[in-house]
Amino acid sequence: MIGAPAAPGPGSAAPAGVLAAAVQLDARIADVDHNVRRCEDLADEAGARGARIIALPEFFTTGIAFDPALSHAALRPDGRATALLQRLARRHRAWVGGSFLCRDDDGEVRNAYFLAGPDGALLGRHDKDLPTMWENSFYIGGDDPGLIDLPDGSPGGALAGATAGAAVCWELMRTGTARRLRGRVDVMMTGSGWWTVPRWRPRGLFDRWEARNEATARRAAAEFSRYVGAPLVHAAHCGPVDCRLPWTPLRYRGKLEGATLIAHADGHVLAERARDEGPGVVTARIQVGRTRPAQPLPRRYWLHRRGPVPTAAWHYQRAHGRRYYTAHTRIPAGEDRE
Protein backbone atom coordinates (compact mmCIF):
# COMPACT_ATOMS: atom_id res chain seq x y z
CA MET A 1 0.00 0.00 0.00
CA ILE A 2 1.39 3.43 -0.86
CA GLY A 3 2.34 5.34 2.25
CA ALA A 4 3.08 2.24 4.33
CA PRO A 5 6.14 0.00 4.58
CA ALA A 6 6.26 -2.69 1.91
CA ALA A 7 7.47 -6.25 2.31
CA PRO A 8 11.20 -6.66 1.66
CA GLY A 9 12.13 -7.47 -1.91
CA PRO A 10 14.64 -10.04 -3.08
CA GLY A 11 17.92 -9.53 -1.27
CA SER A 12 16.39 -7.08 1.22
CA ALA A 13 16.84 -7.39 4.95
CA ALA A 14 14.00 -8.25 7.29
CA PRO A 15 12.12 -5.28 8.79
CA ALA A 16 14.54 -4.24 11.56
CA GLY A 17 17.10 -1.55 12.16
CA VAL A 18 16.34 2.15 12.38
CA LEU A 19 12.94 3.72 11.73
CA ALA A 20 13.34 6.45 9.11
CA ALA A 21 10.80 9.04 7.98
CA ALA A 22 10.50 11.23 4.89
CA VAL A 23 8.28 14.31 4.82
CA GLN A 24 6.17 15.36 1.83
CA LEU A 25 5.54 19.11 2.06
CA ASP A 26 2.99 21.48 0.54
CA ALA A 27 5.07 24.65 0.83
CA ARG A 28 3.96 28.19 0.09
CA ILE A 29 6.46 30.01 -2.09
CA ALA A 30 8.77 32.22 0.01
CA ASP A 31 6.43 32.05 3.05
CA VAL A 32 9.06 31.06 5.59
CA ASP A 33 6.77 31.40 8.63
CA HIS A 34 4.17 29.04 7.20
CA ASN A 35 6.68 26.54 5.88
CA VAL A 36 8.65 26.31 9.12
CA ARG A 37 5.43 25.65 11.06
CA ARG A 38 4.33 23.06 8.50
CA CYS A 39 7.66 21.26 8.63
CA GLU A 40 7.60 21.20 12.41
CA ASP A 41 4.11 19.68 12.46
CA LEU A 42 5.01 16.97 9.94
CA ALA A 43 8.35 16.18 11.58
CA ASP A 44 6.58 15.93 14.94
CA GLU A 45 4.25 13.39 13.37
CA ALA A 46 7.29 11.41 12.23
CA GLY A 47 8.86 11.66 15.68
CA ALA A 48 5.65 10.52 17.35
CA ARG A 49 5.84 7.36 15.26
CA GLY A 50 9.29 6.72 16.67
CA ALA A 51 11.40 7.83 13.70
CA ARG A 52 15.08 8.29 14.49
CA ILE A 53 15.97 9.58 11.03
CA ILE A 54 13.78 12.39 9.66
CA ALA A 55 14.30 13.96 6.22
CA LEU A 56 12.78 17.29 5.20
CA PRO A 57 12.78 18.18 1.50
CA GLU A 58 14.95 20.49 -0.53
CA PHE A 59 13.91 24.16 -0.10
CA PHE A 60 11.90 23.28 2.98
CA THR A 61 11.66 26.92 4.10
CA THR A 62 10.54 28.40 0.77
CA GLY A 63 9.40 25.89 -1.80
CA ILE A 64 10.60 26.45 -5.37
CA ALA A 65 9.32 28.24 -8.47
CA PHE A 66 10.49 31.13 -10.64
CA ASP A 67 9.27 33.75 -8.18
CA PRO A 68 11.19 37.00 -7.46
CA ALA A 69 10.29 36.69 -3.77
CA LEU A 70 12.82 33.88 -3.47
CA SER A 71 15.64 36.35 -4.06
CA HIS A 72 14.92 37.77 -0.60
CA ALA A 73 13.89 34.59 1.27
CA ALA A 74 17.31 33.09 2.06
CA LEU A 75 18.15 32.52 5.72
CA ARG A 76 21.46 32.73 7.51
CA PRO A 77 23.29 29.46 8.30
CA ASP A 78 22.61 30.06 12.00
CA GLY A 79 19.02 31.22 11.50
CA ARG A 80 15.52 29.81 11.75
CA ALA A 81 16.03 26.83 9.46
CA THR A 82 18.95 25.39 11.37
CA ALA A 83 17.22 26.20 14.67
CA LEU A 84 14.26 24.13 13.49
CA LEU A 85 16.46 21.16 12.57
CA GLN A 86 18.23 21.35 15.94
CA ARG A 87 14.97 21.70 17.89
CA LEU A 88 13.38 18.73 16.14
CA ALA A 89 16.50 16.61 16.58
CA ARG A 90 16.62 17.25 20.34
CA ARG A 91 12.88 16.77 20.77
CA HIS A 92 12.77 13.40 19.06
CA ARG A 93 16.34 12.21 19.74
CA ALA A 94 16.71 11.87 15.99
CA TRP A 95 18.91 12.80 13.05
CA VAL A 96 17.04 15.51 11.15
CA GLY A 97 18.12 17.01 7.82
CA GLY A 98 16.92 19.16 4.97
CA SER A 99 18.07 21.88 2.60
CA PHE A 100 17.17 25.56 2.32
CA LEU A 101 18.26 28.74 0.60
CA CYS A 102 21.14 29.85 2.82
CA ARG A 103 22.82 33.27 2.57
CA ASP A 104 26.38 33.02 3.78
CA ASP A 105 28.65 35.76 5.10
CA ASP A 106 30.09 36.32 1.62
CA GLY A 107 26.66 37.50 0.40
CA GLU A 108 26.17 34.44 -1.79
CA VAL A 109 23.16 32.15 -1.52
CA ARG A 110 23.61 28.39 -1.60
CA ASN A 111 21.22 25.44 -1.47
CA ALA A 112 22.57 24.05 1.79
CA TYR A 113 21.66 20.69 3.31
CA PHE A 114 22.21 20.64 7.08
CA LEU A 115 22.04 17.58 9.33
CA ALA A 116 21.44 17.83 13.10
CA GLY A 117 22.09 15.05 15.61
CA PRO A 118 20.03 13.83 18.58
CA ASP A 119 21.69 16.26 20.97
CA GLY A 120 20.83 19.19 18.69
CA ALA A 121 24.36 19.66 17.39
CA LEU A 122 24.83 20.49 13.71
CA LEU A 123 26.88 17.62 12.30
CA GLY A 124 27.61 18.88 8.82
CA ARG A 125 26.53 20.67 5.67
CA HIS A 126 26.40 19.93 1.97
CA ASP A 127 25.91 22.58 -0.74
CA LYS A 128 24.15 21.34 -3.87
CA ASP A 129 26.66 21.30 -6.70
CA LEU A 130 24.66 22.69 -9.65
CA PRO A 131 21.39 24.66 -9.59
CA THR A 132 18.67 23.09 -11.75
CA MET A 133 16.96 25.19 -14.45
CA TRP A 134 15.34 28.33 -12.94
CA GLU A 135 17.03 27.58 -9.61
CA ASN A 136 20.07 29.34 -11.10
CA SER A 137 18.23 32.61 -10.38
CA PHE A 138 18.38 32.05 -6.62
CA TYR A 139 21.65 30.35 -5.62
CA ILE A 140 25.09 29.23 -6.72
CA GLY A 141 26.61 25.75 -6.57
CA GLY A 142 29.05 24.14 -4.17
CA ASP A 143 31.83 21.58 -4.51
CA ASP A 144 31.98 19.54 -1.27
CA PRO A 145 31.66 15.72 -1.41
CA GLY A 146 28.42 15.52 0.61
CA LEU A 147 29.85 13.37 3.44
CA ILE A 148 28.64 13.95 7.01
CA ASP A 149 30.06 11.85 9.86
CA LEU A 150 27.69 10.77 12.63
CA PRO A 151 29.50 10.70 15.97
CA ASP A 152 29.61 7.84 18.45
CA GLY A 153 27.12 7.81 21.28
CA SER A 154 23.85 7.64 19.33
CA PRO A 155 20.73 6.34 21.10
CA GLY A 156 20.87 2.57 20.79
CA GLY A 157 24.14 2.83 18.90
CA ALA A 158 22.57 2.04 15.52
CA LEU A 159 24.16 5.03 13.77
CA ALA A 160 27.24 5.45 15.94
CA GLY A 161 30.28 6.12 13.79
CA ALA A 162 28.29 5.97 10.54
CA THR A 163 28.63 8.37 7.63
CA ALA A 164 25.62 10.01 5.98
CA GLY A 165 25.62 11.09 2.37
CA ALA A 166 23.69 14.23 1.43
CA ALA A 167 22.38 14.95 -2.07
CA VAL A 168 19.38 16.83 -3.44
CA CYS A 169 17.19 16.63 -6.53
CA TRP A 170 19.16 16.53 -9.79
CA GLU A 171 22.31 15.58 -7.95
CA LEU A 172 20.58 12.19 -7.88
CA MET A 173 20.57 12.30 -11.69
CA ARG A 174 24.34 12.59 -12.15
CA THR A 175 26.98 9.91 -12.34
CA GLY A 176 29.49 12.20 -10.64
CA THR A 177 27.35 12.39 -7.49
CA ALA A 178 27.14 8.61 -7.24
CA ARG A 179 30.88 8.31 -7.87
CA ARG A 180 31.82 10.61 -4.97
CA LEU A 181 29.48 8.80 -2.53
CA ARG A 182 29.77 5.21 -3.76
CA GLY A 183 30.88 2.81 -1.04
CA ARG A 184 31.58 5.70 1.37
CA VAL A 185 28.24 6.21 3.14
CA ASP A 186 25.92 4.21 5.39
CA VAL A 187 22.70 6.12 4.74
CA MET A 188 21.62 8.66 2.12
CA MET A 189 19.74 11.79 3.26
CA THR A 190 18.12 13.30 0.18
CA GLY A 191 15.32 15.60 -0.94
CA SER A 192 13.90 17.26 -4.03
CA GLY A 193 11.66 19.94 -5.48
CA TRP A 194 10.89 18.34 -8.87
CA TRP A 195 8.24 19.94 -11.09
CA THR A 196 6.12 18.57 -13.91
CA VAL A 197 6.30 19.13 -17.67
CA PRO A 198 3.54 21.68 -18.46
CA ARG A 199 0.39 20.57 -20.35
CA TRP A 200 0.99 22.58 -23.49
CA ARG A 201 -0.23 21.68 -26.97
CA PRO A 202 -0.15 19.18 -28.50
CA ARG A 203 -1.48 17.77 -25.23
CA GLY A 204 -0.86 14.14 -26.11
CA LEU A 205 2.82 14.73 -26.74
CA PHE A 206 3.39 16.82 -23.62
CA ASP A 207 1.45 14.32 -21.52
CA ARG A 208 3.72 11.52 -22.73
CA TRP A 209 6.77 13.60 -21.89
CA GLU A 210 5.37 14.28 -18.42
CA ALA A 211 4.66 10.57 -17.81
CA ARG A 212 8.33 9.87 -18.47
CA ASN A 213 9.37 12.85 -16.36
CA GLU A 214 7.34 11.62 -13.38
CA ALA A 215 8.78 8.13 -13.74
CA THR A 216 12.28 9.60 -13.81
CA ALA A 217 11.67 11.55 -10.59
CA ARG A 218 10.81 8.33 -8.78
CA ARG A 219 13.51 6.24 -10.44
CA ALA A 220 16.25 8.78 -9.77
CA ALA A 221 15.55 8.65 -6.04
CA ALA A 222 14.95 4.91 -5.63
CA GLU A 223 17.74 3.71 -7.89
CA PHE A 224 20.37 6.05 -6.49
CA SER A 225 20.73 3.71 -3.52
CA ARG A 226 21.76 0.96 -5.96
CA TYR A 227 24.57 3.10 -7.36
CA VAL A 228 25.84 4.12 -3.92
CA GLY A 229 25.27 0.97 -1.84
CA ALA A 230 23.31 2.46 1.07
CA PRO A 231 19.65 2.92 2.09
CA LEU A 232 18.06 6.21 1.08
CA VAL A 233 15.53 8.56 2.73
CA HIS A 234 14.04 10.98 0.20
CA ALA A 235 11.70 13.86 1.10
CA ALA A 236 9.88 15.93 -1.51
CA HIS A 237 7.26 18.56 -2.31
CA CYS A 238 3.71 18.30 -3.62
CA GLY A 239 1.12 20.81 -4.73
CA PRO A 240 0.57 23.27 -7.61
CA VAL A 241 3.09 25.66 -9.14
CA ASP A 242 2.08 28.79 -11.06
CA CYS A 243 4.76 31.25 -12.10
CA ARG A 244 6.21 33.18 -15.01
CA LEU A 245 8.66 31.42 -17.32
CA PRO A 246 12.03 33.19 -17.59
CA TRP A 247 12.69 35.12 -20.80
CA THR A 248 9.20 34.40 -22.20
CA PRO A 249 5.68 35.89 -21.98
CA LEU A 250 4.40 32.42 -20.99
CA ARG A 251 3.32 31.16 -17.59
CA TYR A 252 4.24 27.82 -16.15
CA ARG A 253 1.36 25.95 -14.53
CA GLY A 254 2.13 22.52 -13.16
CA LYS A 255 2.70 20.49 -10.02
CA LEU A 256 5.53 19.28 -7.85
CA GLU A 257 6.14 15.59 -8.42
CA GLY A 258 6.51 14.15 -4.95
CA ALA A 259 8.48 10.88 -5.17
CA THR A 260 8.72 10.90 -1.39
CA LEU A 261 10.11 7.47 -0.53
CA ILE A 262 12.45 5.30 1.51
CA ALA A 263 14.54 2.70 -0.28
CA HIS A 264 16.71 -0.23 0.74
CA ALA A 265 20.33 -0.28 -0.41
CA ASP A 266 19.31 -2.60 -3.27
CA GLY A 267 16.82 -0.03 -4.61
CA HIS A 268 13.71 -1.78 -3.29
CA VAL A 269 11.17 0.88 -2.22
CA LEU A 270 10.08 0.24 1.35
CA ALA A 271 7.57 3.10 1.63
CA GLU A 272 6.39 5.94 -0.59
CA ARG A 273 3.82 8.68 -0.89
CA ALA A 274 2.41 9.73 -4.26
CA ARG A 275 2.12 13.43 -5.07
CA ASP A 276 -1.69 13.23 -5.25
CA GLU A 277 -1.82 12.00 -1.65
CA GLY A 278 -0.75 15.47 -0.54
CA PRO A 279 1.41 16.39 2.41
CA GLY A 280 2.29 13.76 4.96
CA VAL A 281 4.92 11.38 6.26
CA VAL A 282 6.14 7.93 5.25
CA THR A 283 8.15 5.66 7.53
CA ALA A 284 10.08 2.44 7.12
CA ARG A 285 12.81 0.56 8.93
CA ILE A 286 16.19 0.58 7.23
CA GLN A 287 19.44 -1.25 7.82
CA VAL A 288 22.01 1.49 8.17
CA GLY A 289 25.33 0.44 6.68
CA ARG A 290 27.20 0.43 3.39
CA THR A 291 27.03 -2.56 1.08
CA ARG A 292 28.48 -3.50 -2.28
CA PRO A 293 26.63 -1.30 -4.80
CA ALA A 294 24.14 -3.31 -6.83
CA GLN A 295 24.48 -1.18 -9.96
CA PRO A 296 27.68 -0.31 -11.87
CA LEU A 297 28.24 3.32 -12.80
CA PRO A 298 27.57 4.17 -16.44
CA ARG A 299 30.15 5.96 -18.56
CA ARG A 300 28.05 9.06 -19.10
CA TYR A 301 27.29 12.32 -17.34
CA TRP A 302 23.60 11.60 -16.59
CA LEU A 303 22.36 8.48 -14.86
CA HIS A 304 18.92 8.87 -16.49
CA ARG A 305 17.60 10.49 -19.66
CA ARG A 306 16.18 13.94 -18.97
CA GLY A 307 13.67 14.27 -21.82
CA PRO A 308 13.41 17.09 -24.39
CA VAL A 309 11.60 19.71 -22.27
CA PRO A 310 13.82 19.38 -19.17
CA THR A 311 16.93 19.35 -21.38
CA ALA A 312 15.93 22.58 -23.13
CA ALA A 313 14.96 24.21 -19.83
CA TRP A 314 18.26 23.14 -18.26
CA HIS A 315 20.26 25.13 -20.80
CA TYR A 316 18.21 28.27 -21.40
CA GLN A 317 17.13 28.78 -17.78
CA ARG A 318 20.70 28.26 -16.62
CA ALA A 319 21.86 31.07 -18.92
CA HIS A 320 19.04 33.34 -17.75
CA GLY A 321 19.43 32.42 -14.10
CA ARG A 322 23.09 33.33 -13.84
CA ARG A 323 22.30 36.86 -14.99
CA TYR A 324 19.23 37.13 -12.79
CA TYR A 325 21.13 35.92 -9.73
CA THR A 326 23.84 38.55 -10.14
CA ALA A 327 21.29 41.32 -10.64
CA HIS A 328 18.68 40.39 -8.03
CA THR A 329 19.80 37.75 -5.52
CA ARG A 330 23.49 38.09 -4.76
CA ILE A 331 24.52 40.74 -2.24
CA PRO A 332 27.92 42.22 -3.18
CA ALA A 333 30.55 42.24 -0.45
CA GLY A 334 30.20 45.22 1.86
CA GLU A 335 26.52 45.92 1.18
CA ASP A 336 23.96 45.91 3.98
CA ARG A 337 22.05 42.63 3.89
CA GLU A 338 19.08 43.87 5.92
DSSP 228-285: HTS-EEEEEEEEEEEEEPTTSS-EEEEEEE--EEEE-TTS-EEEEE-GGG-SEEEEEE
pLDDT of residue 209: 98
Cα–Cα distance measured from residue 187 to residue 287, given in angstroms and rounded to the nearest whole number: 9
What fold, for 18-329?
A: Nitrilase/N-carbamoyl-D-aminoacid amidohydrolase (3.60.110)
Q: Do residues 178 and 303 touch, judged by C-beta distance below 8 A?
A: yes
Q: Domains of the chain: which residue ranges? A: 18-329
What sign does the CA torsion over 109, 114, 120, 121 have?
negative
For 22, the 3-state DSSP assignment is strand
- 295 Cβ partners below 8 Å, 6+ apart? 223, 226, 227, 267
Model's pTM, two decimal places?
Answer: 0.94
Q: What is the dihedral of CA 226, 89, 42, 55, to 10 degrees?
A: -20
In this structure, are residues 273 and 261 in contact, taking their beta carbons and an 8 Å threshold? yes
DSSP three-state, residue 4:
coil
Say what the pLDDT of residue 335 is: 63
pLDDT values of the chain reduced to their tens digit, one per residue, 338 residues:
233 344 444 444 444 699 999 999 999 999 999 999 999 999 999 999 999 999 999 999 999 999 999 999 999 999 999 999 999 999 999 999 999 999 999 999 999 999 999 999 999 999 999 999 999 999 999 999 999 999 875 554 678 799 999 999 999 999 999 999 999 999 999 999 999 999 999 999 999 999 999 999 999 999 999 999 999 999 999 999 999 999 999 999 999 998 999 999 999 999 999 999 999 999 999 999 999 999 999 999 999 999 999 999 999 999 999 999 999 999 986 565 44
Alpha-carbon torsion angle 65, 66, 68, 71, nearest 10: 70
**CA 109 – CA 136 distance, rounded (Å):** 10
DSSP characters for 75-138? B-TTSHHHHHHHHHHHHHTSEEEEEEEEE-TTS-EEEEEEEE-TTS-EEEEEE-SS--GGGGGT
Cis peptide before 308 (omega within 30 of 0): no
